[in-house]
Structure 1
């Protein structure tokens, strides 16, 4: 199992993120709001080590914590205000020679290409419901989450617990659930009655994804 670190993903291998993941320095991580966003990265300005003909496509799944003992240009690569991507060895090798260590890059946000629908994994207990949101296409990062049971007239706004885990104290057991997800690009996706009324904690359900 490869834990998803500060974003709260349970197993980035089984959840389809594979080696194409990255830990971001604090300015980019933005308190976990960027979790799930996708980037294209190219190695530049280093002809000895770069593979400039290759792009690396990654998903933000973790935080690269600061280390204030070394200087930000001599070991403290993730120290603010530096924008830094910490990339795993197999993925780094696609854009540069690994023994280069630190290389200059160009990067840009790109739409996330995901197979299947948005996944909702429900954990907790009847008095505290925690929903992990993953495999999000499009912008990839969720900024707002709502839930509605089939017996309720109004939507319940969920709050971010950490990363892409969202919580509510609303009683949801025994109800068919609908989730509404808003991404950072302003688009919303509503998965109507994606969770049947006989759901149980620990189960994962697949909803409507962004194109």
Structure 2
């Protein structure tokens, strides 16, 4: 566990690199299974892959961090907020205790105006970081149903959770019956293998990672649901 000072910043800095296109979102998709959502609102490509301590076997998907750099002349010294959307499984991501492999856009956002290219070409950086609350203003939690889902196998990616960003549990309730626990899939995706066909509409109950706050998305996945569709709720943490 990293020591945290009074302002919430970790006492030890993290390493930071970047990947993908200079103004891009790193990789379209990534290990958290967000797909093209990483480049679109409300994420706007302000995302990062995490080394093992940040990705945390998928449990870190959706968590948010403030980071800032001061050790390079091109650094602005102002913090930015990024969401963990991918895994960085090798190189400095593994050799350092904490490592952010930022999108090109996020790395550029750490720079002074007009100096993004200089900062991207500077090589690995040392950055200050702290856990931050995710805040997607005006956005509610969404559920992207997996393309392979059937009435016997329901899986979806949970997107845009405010607050802690990670989830302790996800439960689904079909049109008849009680809530059933879903299994996390080392990403932001959760699945349920059912021995019998399940019918919607489905309620989904989410419990946040640390505070154990609970929200229920009522009838968020309709009776006529289809694979590879996104269904938006009217709730958030």
Taking structure 2 as the reference length, the TM-score comes to 0.77
Query: Is 1:120 the equivalent of 2:143?
Result: yes
Matched, 1:41 2:67: yes
Other-structure match for 2:53: 27
Give 1:83's match in structure 2, choosing from 76, 95, 98: 98
The answer to whether structure 1 residue 148 and structure 2 residue 164 are counterparts is: no
> For residues 16 and 33 of structure 1, do their structure 2 counterparts lie closer, same or farther at Cα, with a shift above 3 Å needed?
same
Residues 101 and 192 of structure 1, relative CA distance in 2, 3 Å threshold:
same
Q: Partner residue of 1:108?
A: 130
Once residues 64 and 180 of structure 1 are traced to their aligned partners in structure 2, the CA distance between those partners, rounded to angstroms, is 30
What's the counterpart of residue 165 of structure 1? 189
Q: TM-score, normalised by structure 1?
A: 0.86
Distance 2:95 2:235 in 1: 34
Alignment partner, residue 20 of structure 2: none
- The answer as to whether partners of 1:23 and 1:64 remain within 8 angstroms in 2 is yes
Q: Deviation of residue 41 (structure 1)? A: 0.5
Q: Distance in 2 between matches of 1:121 and 1:18?
A: 18
What's the offset of the Cα at 1:104?
Answer: 1.4
Tell me how far 1:201 sits from its aligned partner.
2.1
- Supply the distance in 2 between the matched residues of 1:112 and 1:160 (Cα, whole angstroms): 20
Alignment coverage as a number of residue pairs:
199
Q: CA RMSD in A?
A: 2.0
Tell me the secondary structure at the aligned position of residue 5 of structure 1. Answer: coil
Deviations 1:107-143 (A, max 9, x none): 1111111132100122312221111111111111122
Q: Which residue of 1 aligns with 2:5?
A: none
Unpaired runs of 5+ residues, structure 1, are 67-75
Contact kept, 8 Å, 2:170 with 2:207, in 1: the verdict is: yes
Deviation at 1:64, TM superposition (A): 0.9
2:107 corresponds in structure 1 to: 92
> What residue number does 2:21 align with?
none
Post-superposition offset of 1:158:
0.2
Deviation, structure 1 residue 99: 2.3
8 Å contact from structure 2 (residues 58, 185) kept in 1 = no
| Residue of 75, 81, 88 corresponding to 1:50 | 75
Gaps of 5+ in 2: 1-24, 112-118
Larger mean Cα displacement after TM superposition, 93-102 or 136-145: 93-102
In structure 2, the residue matched to 1:193 is 219
